[in-house]
Every structure is written in structure tokens, then in C-alpha cells.
Structure 1
Amino acid sequence: NFFALNYETQIKPYLRFRELYERRGKPFDLDSKVNRFSARDFLDLQVLFLLANFSEVEKERDDFISGLVAKGRDFSVEEKSQLLRKARALIASVIPLLRKLEEEGKLEISTTPFYHPILPLLLDTDVARLSNPYRPLPAQKFSFPEDAREQVKRALDFVERLLGKRPIGMWPAEGAVSEDAVRLMGDLGVKWIATDEGILERSLESGLRSEGFPARELLRPYEFSGVTVFFRDRVLSDRIGFVYQRMNPEEAVRDFLEYLRALHEAYGGEELVVPVILDGENPWPYYPRGGVDFLRRLYSRIAESSFVDFSFFGDVGAEREVLSRVFPGSWIKQDFSTWIGCEEKNRAWEYLVKVRRELEGRMTPEAYSEVLAAEGSDWFWWYGGDHPSLFAREFDEIFRTHLIAAYRLSGLDHPLFLEKCIREEKFVSFRRYPAGPISPVLDGKVTDYFEWLSAGEIDLTQFYGAEEKHVESLLEALFFGYGDDRFYLRIDSRSSFKDLLEEGYGLRFYLCNPRGEFLISVKGHPGLRAELYRRDEGGFSRLAELEACCEKILELAVPTEHIGDDEQELYLVLEREGEAVERYPLSGFFAIPPRSEIEKEDWVL
């Protein structure tokens, strides 16, 4: 976890941190790599990790912290302890600061349902079918409106207890809304909520942008069932989240204000409401100096502006237009498929509904809290193949631990199915699904656009960057498919694959299927060699030399007489001088569908 930071802005600026990062290499096979580090290394890692997480503001005004930055290495235990004390003191000052700013009228406090659940799914998981009818849903639906109500009530109570004032605004977790969810929040005293402009598009059944320019309908608040609903300007919000980090701060602020000036002029100077909403903590590690320079310029320029002003959501006085419907969905794809609708996510919901029904009327308050915690969205986020993570197994274990604890705290033995992992480490998230047989020419280049068009494709870059927030994978994509009596594989790399081989890299494909376990070894010196091995009692024994060619890409063919054409479980390792450099996926394997499935006439793309 010491390296779970943005490399460019949080590791690279520290010479010692960069040295230790490079010594570790890519984040797999960590049990063996831990021996590369001494006690001195670990002490430096602890201090550098803390320094990288302190804001630039603290580094500017605290001589002790800036002194550690200048020192750079060889820190003492006492220096680490003092830095930890400063970190704890800074964290302890946050709540009093929020209370002070709110009392001074400089801040509006909103909240989110307590354990960050997808509120519409707690009300009824069948709502997911309305926004995406093509996804399979759990065999048993989850529908506990009382839990949804408790999540909202606990959040409001908690903030009131902490800050002395009850919030009137709520950001539903992941911007997830439905008509019933809006009504529920309104019933509990919430006056305004916010979600994404895509929800407004689907609710109005009308496009809201022309060549990227927002329609007037997007630039006003709405009302549904007595609750004011704001819809974020996705373009402007995402520029802060994903674009401005790569720009000079002055240019970024100018772009922000020019966008707003264009709206001001296009609509004749009338009052417009432009909600800018994003995950507040996510973008800043990607900005140089944590975004401090950008934010200072942004706030000062807005304060000087004659056509832009800040407003709290609760103070917006613009007339509300009444919505006749609210389309159910989230700010991600305007549906709920990030949290429900694939095998693993659905299985997690089935675990949850079984536990919730069995414990109905038997839970202690402490046990109920464990169930509510298990309803949080993040567990479901990490299930399935759409968000690969180094910590997927840990997330799975924590989710099931909450459910097991609910039984323990109720004085009951938990059912044994909760001991079974949901996470299978089996990735089936393809960039493109295989659509039929292929017959590529093995010449190390894409000879014809159509030769790999029906192949399956897996994005390999997705496996580096989830935790460490940067992508430096050498390989880009894996293609696969069947044709005649062969199983074809292709690898695309960031540079020429031939150059990788000449630099001493090699590649290993590991396959497991009903016929056994196989290894495909690809090496480049003294010439390209691709060989197939099969595991027996003594290890891997050579079966055959394979046809292969390598130029810009690597292409090879494996006779199905050796490996069959059933479902393949496959992972690959890029190595150099006998040491693994990259593994895809980071753990587990890819599930390659059987030939019979690929060649079905009704295969859906």
C-alpha cells in the first residue's frame, strides 16, 4: 500500500521514493519482493508515504514537514512518530473547521446515505431492469425500503450530531436515483439532491447538448415530489476531474471561465445554474502540487468575475421546473450495471438477501449495523471483471465478514455458504467479444483489417493503474480466437514486440482446460521460438514447436489437437532475465469461452 499513489505527482518528485518504487517493480509476487527491502527501507517508505499525502499547504507552512521533504531519506523513528502526531492533529482539526466555516456562512454541509449504498437497489433491485433490460439480475430480488430509510436517517442524524446542524442536502451515493428514492429522501426532510445530466436527458427523453454546448434545460434546477433536483454539468465537472490536471493552472482556469462566459453570452445574461459536482477527493493526486495552484487561481478569478458567482445549493432561488418522471440510474452510464447484473455482483446480492431475510426480526442493533454496512456500494463495485484490483480478495472477505458478524452478534451460527468466496479471480471483461472463426496470416503485423475482426480482445492496460493511479504496462492487448484446427493468440505492445524480444523480454502463456495444464513459451534469442509444454508429474514437458511470427505484434497458433477447444483459463507473464516483470491479470486468469460458444449462430455482440 505504500505505493498506492499517483506515480508522477506523489512518488516521482521524491528521489528516494522513486528508488524504492523501482526496486519493487510491478505489484505482483509481492511475497518474494518484500525481501528486497531492509528495515531502513521500510522506515523511509513509511515517512515518504506520509509526506506524499500531506497537502502542499501544510508543507509550505510547517517547518518540520518541509525539513523532512528537504532531507529526503534516512529518517529516524522519532521523526516518523512526530510526523504521525502532526497527521493525527490535522485530521482532528477537520470537524471543528467544518463547524466554524458553516457557522460563518462559508460552507454548506450535505451528506450521503450512511454506508454509501445504491439507494434505489435497496428499495428494489428490479429497478435495474428499467434502466438496462439486457443485464441478468439476481435470482432473488432485494427489497427492503426500511433499510434504505435507515441509511438516509443515520446519515442525517450523524451529521447533525457532529456539526450541530441537520443537513437539508444530499448527494445520493454515485448519483443513484429513482422516483421512490427521491420520495424517500424528501420524506426524511431532504430539501435538495443532485445527480448527473444524463439522468435529466433520460427523464426528459431529449438531448441536452449540441456540439458539446448545453441546452437551457440543463442550466436550471428541477423539482420532483417536493424535492429540488440539480443535474451536474458533466463537461465542466469532468474537466476538473480529468482534464485540467494536465494543463497549466492559469490556462485551466481560463478555460473554466471561458466556458461559463460563453453560456452567459449565449443566454443573454439571464441567471443560469451550473452545478459543478465531482468526487471531491479523487482528482487532486493527479494534479501537480495537489491542485493547490489551480484552486487558488480558480477561487480568486471567480471572486473577481463580474458574471460568475458561487452559491450554495440550498440558497439557489431560481424557479424550479417540475419533472413528471425521474429516470432510474446513476452518474455512471445512467444505469446500475456497475453494482448489479453480472455473475459475481448478483451472487453478492443473493448472499445479502438470504442473510437479510433469515435474520429478519432476530437481529440486535449491532447486528443490523453489520447488515447495513454490507449494503454499501463499494463491495459490489469490486465484484466482476470491470474493476480489477490488487485487493479484490480482501474486499470479498470483508463483505462476507460483515454478514458473518451479523449472525455472531445475534447469537446465531452463520450458514456455511458465507465461507465461500464470491470473487472467483476469473476475468471475463472483454473489450470485444469473439464473434466467430478467424484465419489470420501469421506475419507479425495486421495484414488486413478483417483478419482479427471476429477475435476476442482483452484490454491489458486495465490491470495497471487501479490502485497505483498510473499506467505503465508494456503490453496493451490480447486477441484470441479459433479457426480450422488452431487456437490463435495475438499480443499488441506499446512499442514493437520484436523490440521487446531483442531487449531480452520473453512471454509465457499459462493455459488450463479439461485436457490439462499447458505452457506456451515465447523467446526472441537467438531467434524467435514459440514452444508448447504440458505439465506432467515431473513438471512441464515439451510437446511441440509452434508457428509464430513477431514484428510490430506477436501472432502465434496452437494446434487444437494438443489443447482442445473447450473453455480455457489463461494468464500470461512478461519476463526478463528469468524474472517476471508483468502479469495479466494481476491474479487469477482470463476465462476464454469454448469454441462451441463462440461459433453459435445467435452469438450477441
Structure 2
Amino acid sequence: MGAGLVLLHTCHDFLWNGTWVGAYELQALLLSEYNVSVTIDFTPVLLYQWETILTEGTFPYSPAWPSPSTLNVNMTQCLEAINYTISLYRELAQEGRVEILTVPFYHPLQAIIYDNGWQSDLLAQILMGEEMTEEVFGVRATGAWTPEMAFNMGLVHLYNETGIEFTILDAQAFLPYATVVSGTPSPYGPIIVEDSTGEQVIVLFRDTDLSNAFSFAYFSQSPQVTARELIHYLARIYMQNPGAVIVVALDGENPLIFNPTTGPADLQAIYQVLSEYQVPGS
């Protein structure tokens, strides 16, 4: 992410309760307000940029702002926002309200790197990502976001070697090629997959329709409509699949960034309705 975009999305995406906030900060603020838990990942290179800004006290070079409307971004405000955002997530993680995943340091397409014989580079990036995530948030991640869900079975060994126990994938793209050891091969439950050497990893599958609704529909419509549609969808799945694990997986900041007027209120409606309708045992 370019320098200007880092600061923009950290401290100046939209007004919320009369104050400029970034997409990352808003999500933490709402998680603190409502009784809901989420799993989230931060690309380690973003965390590195945050740490560099805090260490330097300013950006080490002049950021190129993406549009004239962001020229009024205040650097002091951004420093405060970075500190506040990190402290919020660190607190939520230590309370068990947020589970933080790790990512290979530069968010690479791992399957391509692996297939081109650069396994040592990929191993180093996974370890660097784990270290940066722990340094910033004080937790050791046991799950990994596989960038773009671009996975092949060769990654099972690397995840085992680096202490990664689970990841999230797309069922349509992955299930036909996986050796399932344990669990029902469906989008609504964790399964264990095994590579040719017997090494294993747990996989959760995203609900494609619901994830796409979050990406392309929910954040551009009335918050009341969003809340109603979400609860109806979840109720239908739980009635058809008792005990289902329904996974929403997406680039969580994008719907907010692309819909700065409706997005924040929609995210609030989503967290509020999830807080009100708790599934027993969840």
C-alpha cells in the first residue's frame, strides 16, 4: 500500500461521530462497543509501515496523496490514530474478542511462489509475518490468511513448519483437489486436509454468497435492510445445517473505503444485529 493510502486509511477515510477515522480504526471502535468477535488479519508490511511512522515520528518521505480531498490530513492526528488503532486491537486480542491471523510478510500469491521453487523465500516471509504480528499485537498467530486464497497442497508443509494450524479457503476452488482426512467436505464446517507426506492442516471455507454480499451489497444500502437480510440469511443456513460454521471472508476495509457514506453505518448495523442475535454456544 502506498504511503498516502496508508495514512488515508489509518486516519482519514470518513467522519464518524464528528471525527475523522480510518477504516481499521472504525472496525476496532465498533468491536469495542458491541458483543461480537471477529477474526482479522493485517498484512505485516502494513504493520511495518505503521511501526516505521511511529518510530520516525513522521513519514520518512513525502506521501503522494491519492486525491486533493486528502491534502488536509494532519500528521499529528495520523500518529495518534495509528497508536490508538494498534492499542485497540491489542486489547481486543488479549481479551479474546479478536483473533488475529498472520500473513506472509508482503502478501504474495503463495502458490505461484511455491510452484516456482522459491519455498525458502516463502518460509522466510511466513516467519517474518508471524514475528511482526506478535511484535505489534502481542499475540502469536496460529492461523493464516492465504492471500487471495491461492493455495496448493505444498503449503501444508510450510504451515506445519511455522506453527500455522488453520487457514481459510474457497470451497469451489479447493475442495475438488483436497484429500479430506476428517470432517464433512462442505462449506459449513472445518475439515482436516492431508498432503502426500501425511502432514495436515485445518481448513475453514468461506460462504461465497454471503461473503460477496458483504463485499458488493451490504455496504451500499440502508443499514436496516442490511441487518434484516443478514439475519434472515444466517437463520436459513442454521435451519438447514444445524451447528454450521458460517465463514465470511473478504478484504474487510474495502467495502468501507468504496462506500464511505453508507459503509460505516452498515458495519455498525452488522455488528449490532450480530450482538443481539447470538447463536447458542457461539
TM-score with structure 1 setting the length: 0.33
Tell me the equivalent position of 1:302.
Answer: 274
Structure 2 matches for 1:101-250, cutoff 5 A?
Answer: 101-124=92-115, 142-203=116-177, 217-224=186-193, 225-250=199-224
Please list, as runs of the form range in 1=range in 2, the aligned pairs for 1:331-350 lying within 5 A after superposition.
none
Give the letter for the 1:280 counterpart.
G
Match of 1:98 in 2: 89
| 1:434-445 matches, cutoff 5 A | none
Larger Rg: 1
Q: Which residue of 2 aligns with 1:84?
A: 75
Cα distance in 1 between the residues matched to 2:77 and 2:20: 13
Does structure 1 retain, via aligned residues, the 8 Å contact 2:221–2:262?
Answer: no
What does residue 541 of structure 1 align with? Answer: none
Match of 1:56 in 2: 15
Q: Distance in 2 between matches of 1:80 and 1:297?
A: 30
Aligned to 1:442: none
Shift of 1:165: 2.0
Find the residue that maps to 2:209 and give its secondary structure. Answer: helix
Deviations 1:441-500 (A, max 9, x none): xxxxxxxxxxxxxxxxxxxxxxxxxxxxxxxxxxxxxxxxxxxxxxxxxxxxxxxxxxxx
How far did 1:309 drift? 7.4
Task: List per-residue Cα deviations over 1:105-143 (Å, max 9, x = no partner).
Answer: 21111111111111122222xxxxxxxxxxxxxxxxx31
Corresponding letter in the other structure for 1:249 = P
Is the Cα contact below 8 Å between 2:167 and 2:204 reproduced in 1?
Answer: yes
In 2, the alpha carbon distance for the partners of 1:203 and 1:123 equals: 17
TM-score by length of 2: 0.69
SS in 1 for 2:108: coil
Larger helix proportion of the pair: 2
CA distance in 1, matches of 2:149, 2:281: 24
Change (3 A) 1:119 1:200: closer
Q: Distance in 2 between matches of 1:204 and 1:187?
A: 20
Q: Which has the higher contact order (CA 8 A, sep 6+)?
A: 2
Determine helix, strand or coil for the equivalent of 2:99. Answer: coil
Which residue identity is paired with 2:248? V
C-alpha separation in 1, matches of 2:106 and 2:160: 19
Q: Is the 8 A contact 1:302 1:309 kept in 2?
A: no
* Match runs of 1:459-474 below 5 Å: none
After superposition, the Cα gap between the structure-2 partners of 1:88 and 1:217, relative to the gap in structure 1 and judged at 3 Å, is same
* Aligned residues: CA RMSD: 3.0
Partners in 1 of 2:213 and 2:147 — Cα distance? 21
8 Å CA contact 1:116–1:173 kept in 2: the answer is yes
2:12–2:20: 8 Å Cα contact kept in structure 1?
no
Q: 1:58 to 1:85 in 2, by over 3 A?
A: farther
CA distance in 1, matches of 2:278, 2:185: 21
Alignment-derived partner of residue 263 in structure 2: 291
Partner of 1:282: 254
Q: Which has the higher strand share?
A: 1
| Cα pair distance change 1:176/1:253, threshold 3 Å | same
Contact 1:260/1:308 (<8 A) preserved: no
Contact 1:182–1:227 (8 Å) recurs in 2: yes
Structure 1: any 5+ residue segments left out of the alignment?
6-48, 63-78, 125-141, 206-214, 311-605
How many residue pairs get matched? 219
The answer on whether the counterparts of 2:13 and 2:257 sit within 8 Å (CA) in structure 1 is no
Q: Distance in 2 between matches of 1:306 and 1:228?
A: 25
Matched residues in 2 for 1:179 and 1:96: separation?
Answer: 36
Q: Secondary structure at the match of 2:203?
A: strand
Shift of residue 306, structure 1, vs aligned partner: 4.8
Q: Aligned partners of 1:173 and 1:61: how far apart in 2?
A: 29
Superposition deviation, residue 216 in structure 1: 7.8
| Contact 2:171–2:206 under 8 Å retained in 1 | yes
Return structure 1 stretches of 4+ with deviation > 6 angstroms.
none
Structure 2 counterpart of 1:464? none
Counterpart-to-counterpart distance in 1, 2:158 and 2:178: 22
- Residue equivalent to 1:584: none
Aligned AA (2:232)? E
CA distance in 1, matches of 2:96, 2:109: 31
- Once the two structures are superposed, residues 55-88 of structure 1 have per-residue CA deviations (whole angstroms, 9 ceiling, x without a partner) of 33263589xxxxxxxxxxxxxxxx947x332122
C-alpha distance in 2 between matches for 1:200 and 1:143: 21
1:204 shift after superposition: 6.2
Amino acid at match of 2:86: I
